Amino acid sequence: MKSLLKEFEALRARFPAGFESSLVLPCLRRIQEERGYVADGDIEELAAFLGVPAIQVEEVLSFYTQFRRRPVGRWHLQVCRNVSCSMRGAEGLVGHLERRLGVAPGATTPDGRFTLSTVECLGSCGTAPALMLNDRYVENLTPESVDALLQELD
């Protein structure tokens, strides 16, 4: 976290006075971007830096689905399985990915390349089915386009 302190100071300056608590989410996001997940030590350090209780940081980490306490694979595939995506084939797609990767949702391949997850609506229902590949949306999926995507990823 130390390397980010300068950036966090700049962020603090953009917010109105007294808004330190608001920085919990953006700071955790940056920590996770750097390390891939949020480690135990980060919690105490961030809480001390912002002057908020450590329990608040822990609660935030467990409340929001995007925060991780453990590393994931190099490629994180998060497949939407809400109504519109399921109506366009998402359930079959999850099964297809399970077979191709040999892991169930929530798990990482033994070589550490892929993590498969299912998520709720991504706000991409018009281009369903959709998934998130790390930060990027991939839409209008078919089993063939998913195979082609997996081919591209190292």
Partner 1 sequence: MAGRQLLMNFPVTANSHTLAEYRARGGYTAIAKALREMKPQQITQEVVAAGLQGRGGASFPTGRKWQVVVPGDGQPHYLIANADEGEPGTFKDRWILENAPHLLVEGMLLTAYALDARHCFIYIRGEFDLPYRRIAGAVEEAYAARWLGEQIAGSGFSCDLIVYRGAGAYVAGEASGLISSLEGKKGYPRNRPPRLTVRGLYQRPTVVNNVESLANVTGIIRDGAAAFRAVGTEKSPGTRLISVSGHVNRPGVYEVELGFPWRRFIDEDCGGVLGGRAIKAVVPGGISSKVLTGAEIALLALSHEALWDVNSTLGSGGMIVIAEGTCMVHLLQIMLRFYHHESCGQCTPCRHGTGWMHRIVDRIVAGEGRPEDIERLYYVAKYNDGTTICGLGDAAGFAAAGILDKFRDEFEYCIEHKRSRYEGRIECLRS
Binding site for ligand FES (CB under 6 A): 80, 82-85, 121-125, 128, 130
Structure tokens at 33: 């971007």
Among residues 41, 51, 126, 144, the one that binds partner 1 under rule CB under 8 A = 126
44 touches partner 1 by CB under 8 A: no
Smallest distance, partner 1 to C-beta of residue 95, A: 12
- Residue 21 beta carbon to partner 1: minimum distance, rounded to whole angstroms: 4
CB 34 within 8 A of CB 64: no
Q: Which residues contact 113 (CB under 8 A, 6 or more apart)?
A: 73, 74, 75, 153, 154
Helices 40-50, 24-35: crossing angle, 10 deg rounding: 150
* Stretch near partner 1 under the rule CB under 8 A, chosen from 2-10, 15-23, 37-45, 101-109: 15-23
Cα-trace Rg, the chain: 18
* Closer by beta carbon to ligand FES, 23 or else 146: 146
Could you tell me whether strands 114-119 and 75-80 are parallel, antiparallel, or unpaired per DSSP bridges? parallel
Query: Which spans of this chain sit near partner 1 (rule: CB under 8 A)?
Result: 14-16, 18-19, 21-26, 28-29, 50, 52, 56, 59-60, 63-67, 81-84, 86-89, 91-92, 119-128, 132, 135-137
